[in-house]
Amino acid sequence: MQFGKALLTAALLASTAMVGVAPAAHATDHERVRVLTWNILHGGREPTPDNLNDLIDQVIDIKPDVFFAVETYGSGDTITDALTRRAHNGRYTGVRITDRPAGQDNLWIFTKYEVVATYPKPQGGPVSDFNLGGVRVRVPHDGELNLFATWLTYTDPWDGYLIDENAIDRRDGREPRHSVEAVVQAERAQTQYITDIVHNQLPRMLGGNTAPVLLGGDFNTLPGADWTPSQADCPNHFGLSYPLTATKTVTDAGFIDTFRAANPDVCAAPGRTWSPLPTEQLLTQQRIDFTFAKGAIEVRGAHVVDTRMREHGPGVFYSDHAAVVSDLEVHW
């Protein structure tokens, strides 16, 4: 059923790292949901095709109930089959969000829940199904959950690199080479895309459906809330701060950043997702992959996965992005 009057006020409870207050009087049940958000880099086939097998082992070990995949590129059916056969978590459905041939099918959503609706493609703005798409699923006890996968465009210059170069300059006793205005300007496309998603595409797709919403993917920008003046003294921030706007657009619309809700200390838990690869070891700890939640959802925990499984032996991580795992409790 729809959540209706039983909406919970999203609030961070510092003592428990949960989003939401106690369930409203009419909320009758809940479901624990593990969400994986991961850009798997060229279908998981980098640096060699054999990498996909190891990457799938990692997905199986996480055992997600919902998996927002970016750069799926031809691996969707293989992942769906492996989750169903090996995760011991029920039968999975894989939904190809990006309606293009294999190798161009960027976004997929994998879930153990029954898919009851697939939302129409984005219309009338800069966003296409390469950037956004979603489904509604039915979960136990007659609950529903809206799932949306997203990828925001990469831009050159990229704000992440500009911020890192400024940090290097400050560390080495030089004035930062890039102005604050240049950094914010470098994020303008991501802000344009997410503004279209949050204020135009999602309301049109949902059409008034009030079930809780999860939005996960690669945002190709840093979290504005992690780079305010109050975090300027964090290690590797070097006194720098920036009024970044893309993720702020999402949280201003009532969504909760699940990783930050579970790990409120930015300095102690930067949550780096870019990048585990040795070729991208930036001075700053950059978090560009997110799971956002809106509605009657409590955050029980969240962490990143950025090291290989022990049984796979030494080597580079399976993707140039770390995986984000969020443990949630959804109420109806």
Q: Do 134 and 148 form a contact (C-beta atoms < 8 A)?
A: yes
Domain boundaries, given as residue ranges, for the chain: 29-331
Which stretches in the chain have pLDDT values below 50?
Answer: 1-27
- Counted residue by residue, the chain has a size of 332
Q: At what angle do helices 76-86 and 51-62 cross, to 10 degrees?
A: 50
Give the separation between CA 20 and CA 289, rounded to whole angstroms. Answer: 22
CA-closest candidate to residue 259, choices 219, 307, 229, 232: 219
Query: Which tokens in the block code for residue 261?
Result: 């809700």
Give the separation between CA 50 and CA 278, rounded to whole angstroms. Answer: 20
CA 148 to chain CA centroid, Å, is 10
The predicted pLDDT at position 302 comes to 98
What is the C-alpha end-to-end distance of the chain, expressed in Å? Answer: 8
Q: Which residue has the tokens 């070990």?
A: 61
> Is 303 exposed, middle or buried, given 0-12, 13-18 or 19+ CB atoms closer than 10 A?
middle
Note the pLDDT tens digit of each residue in 100-122: 998 999 999 999 999 999 999 99
CA 274 to chain CA centroid, Å, is 13
Note the pLDDT tens digit of each residue in 182-237: 999 999 999 999 999 999 999 999 999 999 999 999 999 999 999 999 999 999 99
- Give 29-331's CATH code, choosing from 3.20.20.80, 3.60.10.10, 3.40.50.300, 1.20.200.10: 3.60.10.10
The predicted pLDDT at position 11 comes to 36
The predicted pLDDT at position 28 comes to 59
